[in-house]
Amino acid sequence: MMESGVPLCNSCGEQVGVGANGEVFVACHECNFSICKACVDYEIKEGRKACLRCAAPYDDNSVDDAELTVSGNRSTMAAQLSNPQDVGVHARHVSSVSTVDSELNDESGNPIWKNRVESWKDKKNKKKKAPTKAEIKAQREDQIPPDQQMEGKQSAEASQALSSVIPIPSSKLTPYRCVIIMRLVILCLFFHYRITHPVDSAFGLWLTSVICEIWFAVSWVLDQFPKWAPIERITYTDELSARYDREGEVSELAAVDFFVSTVDPLKEPPQITSNTVLSILAVDYPVDKVSCYVSDDGAAMLTFESLVETADFARKWVPFCKKFAIEPRAPEFYFAQKIDYLRDKVQPSFVKERRAMKRDYEEFKVRVNALVAKAQKTPEEGWTMDDGTSWPGNNTRDHPGMIQVFLGHTGAHDIEGNELPRLVYVSREKRPGYQHHKKAGAENALVRVSAVLTNAPYILNLDCDHYVNNSQAVREAMCFLMDPLVGRDLCYVQFPQRFDGIDRSDRYANRNTVFFDVNMKGLDGIQGPVYVGTGCVFNRQALYGYGPPSMPSLPKASSSSCCCCCPSKKPSKDALELHRDAKRDELDAAIFNLREIDNYDEYERSMLISQKSFEKTFGLSSVFIESTLMENGGVPESVNPAALINEAIHVISCGYEEKTSWGKEIGWIYGSVTEDILTGFKMHCRGWRSVYCMPLRPAFKGSAPINLSDRLHQVLRWALGSVEIFLSRHCPLWYGFAGGRLKWLQRLAYTNTIVYPFTSLPLVAYCTIPAICLLTGKFIIPTLSNLASVLFLGLFISIIVTSVLELRWSGVSIEDWWRNEQFWVIGGVSAHLFAVFQGFLKMLAGVDTNFTVTAKAADDAEFGELYIVKWTTVLIPPTTLIIVNMVGVVAGFSDALNKGYEAWGPLFGKVFFAFWVILHLYPFLKGLMGRTNRTPTIVVLWSVLLASVFSLVWVKINPFVSHSNSSTVAQSCISIDC
């Protein structure tokens, strides 16, 4: 038996052994990556003197002086079995159940599993003693000619990694970190002054402002410190092709399943969805490695018919794209480019073929638009298909599952006779009384369907309005996922979101540049970026709830003490830990006992796992269960291809997920409208890492709502999802501590993603305080001394310098930063505020509140949609704040004019405060006025007239100056000697 507590080498599977000091041998002290002395010597001999996992250089002294004691010969998978906490909830562990008992329990089970056991027994009897690692290496070298051996060694030395990390230069990052620390110190001194110097004459305002400022400081810490170690990455796609996709040979690139989700074709135009599908089918990747699954969660016949037209047009479009290497490969956006398409094209036939293709595309648009026009009015008897049968999805809430496979190796080829990627239409079954979980449920249905039909090891999901803008995007992702040094622990590769059709000034910060170019780079230097819902390439095994294969052992301190200051031999376990242990024990009890087996490999051992235990996790489908055990993908050979469609229909049935772990521990996680944040969070809690890929040409582009109301409702939905996570068991404040897999800065980042909507409460109060101060003549800050003035000045300077240095290392423009700051206030006092109240009503009282939107017609101009005014309750708070602060400014100036010279000094701070609010809300005010830079003259005249009248009335009433009676005034006048 293997010694408990001694991990196994992640390279050869043997025990790493112990050093001369009696402790477990550790080659890398940065990440404690388990690797034995022999493998370390081999790596150093080959010229690789850095850790395989974190790339930190080895400690030569510890490596040279270590004396190891190695016993046994186990597979890499056994390294995970020695410590149940090292892997995911559904990891494969060694059990104490005997093989005989397991076989008896499986007699009535699926014959596939029974045949697996019998074939394994036959193979075991024929096996001989396994050769050693040295023998295998020598045998392989003997089979390779000497000249090829030299070429292989040279290529191995010349090309090690498919990607590399580019740290931010210390000249940019060091000052940034210093200013962060300096700002933190200044904040502490600032709050010491604020708390010890209350304003007695305005105690309520002072207390409110201090509470708000403390919350803003906490929010800044949550947002700033995850940016402590930002990095950038570059990929080597040429090296990837040279290693896995050599010309004239069978491609060894991993297969990818694309997911495209759509619901209502009248709100999500089929023309946009078709362009997304066409860009996927034309991607620069081996066609037999690409499959596109379109989820129609509305069961609309319009979506199905438009997909039929799309598949037919793809037979012309795909060869045209690949022949001339055009970018982008979505026809709508390619033909809309205002560039000289003749500049870089040398083929004489290109102009002719391009014009012909544009005509074909215009005809395709006419056919799709005709389908849309036809679908505007649903017949009373429902839709009927071409063969006369009724459309199964006429009742969108009660219909069977539907699957239709287009193109692919068994379908139509392109016009040149070449094979096309597979295109699959999927509409999952829906019945009354079942919870379908919206987009997350649809994505999980695609996971199961794709596993049955193609089972690619990687999944790329896109929204229906996000097309592939860079045909090399999949290869960019594979540079990380297929890199043997980086890809082992990666759960997904996230690409930034880029958008088309946004106005030049980006009035409402639709591009989210600060988030995608600043925050995500910072997270990439910790444990990886968060999942943002689209443009992400997943490792399918990570979606199944497994842990990373090369996770190092947990330190003993984490299990021997409940905290750093209160050690305890028997720590108490919370309910979540007990539930997790129970699930592991349940899974362990169903696995064959392999302790007495001398020779087995990882794949065979996985095939011996009991089917019954997996049915409780993955559902009642033996084909799908077997596909989950194939880490490299592919359809199981034992499955009859003719039965795959029936099995695929079975896995998208309504009741398939009942009493399983779908949506709880595997797949897209349920419980929030922002299922993306929750899904990525669960993966990071298991120990997975993610990476952020930013190619020079944006990988994907989409469309964003550019008018004010739609933008606020989009932000409202995101904020509502964050509130739901905060009120759920998956809240980062208390979830995921048991495993210790989530890094602290990563936990801060996830905490920031769920608490930011609550900033709306202090923000609304803080934006109201200036108007109250101007109207009452009071202020939240007492008369400043010289020291206090220096402190306030230092705080403002540190805020400005932090922003400037952040822009310097991130490359974000000051305009994008300012738009982000403005919309932080606009969204905070409107959408975030409503999300907090709606979230509490929904989660605590069960009341689901919806805010309706009424839209006016848009102009036909380029950005006509920008000027649409959709009146909704979300617009009320910011409008009120603007009016109140404007009234306060007028009142303040009127009061100062009435009081005289000494009143102008105190007025400056109050007016500056009010102008800060108005300046941040200016884009909102501009949106309410309609057309962009042409405010109607009548509006200006009425504004000046009303402000003048209000000022005169205010001076006449003079509410904040004590009034003297007439006799006092008369006496004072009489006493004057004229």
Catalytic site positions:
297, 676
927-932 LR contacts (CB < 8 Å, sep 24+) = 927/507, 927/508, 927/707, 927/708, 927/869, 928/708, 928/869, 928/875, 928/879, 930/867, 930/869, 931/867, 932/503, 932/507, 932/863, 932/866, 932/867
**Alpha-carbon distances, residue 303 vs 372, 425, 856 (angstroms):** 9, 9, 27
Both tokens of residue 647?
């099995």
- The Cα-based distances of 763 to 29, 833, 915 in angstroms read 45, 9, 15
Instruction: Give the C-alpha distances (Å, rounded to integers) separating 213 from 187, 208, 407, 792, 884.
Output: 10, 9, 60, 13, 21
Q: DSSP H helical segments within 399-437, as ranges? A: none
Long-range Cβ contacts of 170-174 (<8 Å, 24+ apart): 172/805, 172/808, 172/809, 173/229, 173/230, 173/809
Strand order in the sheet with 402-407: 402-407, 422-427, 290-296, 256-262, 458-463, 536-539, 490-494, 689-692
Query: Rounded to the nearest 5°, which phi and psi values hold at 118?
Result: -65, -40
Other beta carbons within 10 Å of 380 = 5
Structure tokens that stand for 641 in this block: 């291809």
Q: Which residue has the tokens 């041998």?
A: 25
| Residue listed under structure tokens 């050093």 | 19
Using an 8 Å Cβ cutoff, are 460 and 256 in contact?
yes
Q: 607-646 burial string, b = 16+ CB within 10 Å, else e?
A: bbbbbebbbbbbbbbbbbbbbbbbbebebbeebeeeebee
- Give the count of alpha carbons within 13 A of 24, CB side only: 21
Comparing CA positions, the residue from 363, 291, 279, 290 lying closest to residue 327 is 279
The identity of residue 143, as a single letter, is Q
Q: How crowded is residue 251: how many other Cβ atoms within 10 Å of its Cβ?
A: 16
Q: C-alpha distances in angstroms, 808 versus 560, 747, 802, 972?
A: 45, 26, 10, 65
CA atoms within 13 A on the CB side of 933: 4
User: CA dist 434 to 618, 657, 821, 843, 885, Å?
Assistant: 18, 10, 43, 20, 50
Phi, psi for 271 (deg, rounded to 5) = -60, -40
Instruction: Supply 861's token pair.
Output: 């101009």
The DSSP 8-state label assigned to residue 903 in this structure reads G
* Contacting residues for 687 by C-beta, under 8 A, at least 6 apart: 86, 489, 547, 548, 551, 739, 741
Cis peptide before 732 (omega within 30 of 0): no
Nearest of 329, 327, 321 to residue 276 by alpha carbon: 329
| Buried/exposed 918-938: b ≥16 CB within 10 Å, e otherwise | bebbebbbbbeeeebeeeeee
What does DSSP say about strands 536-539 and 458-463: parallel, antiparallel, or unpaired?
antiparallel
Structure tokens at 356: 């012909």
Euclidean distance between CA atoms 878 and 827, whole angstroms: 9
Distance CA 519, CA 473 (A): 22
Cβ burial 466-492 (10 Å sphere, 16+ → b, else e) = bbbbbbbbbbbbbbbbbbebbbbbbbb
Q: Which of 503, 505, 525 is nearest to 814 (CA)?
A: 505
Provide the Cα torsion 879, 884, 889, 893; round to 10°: 150
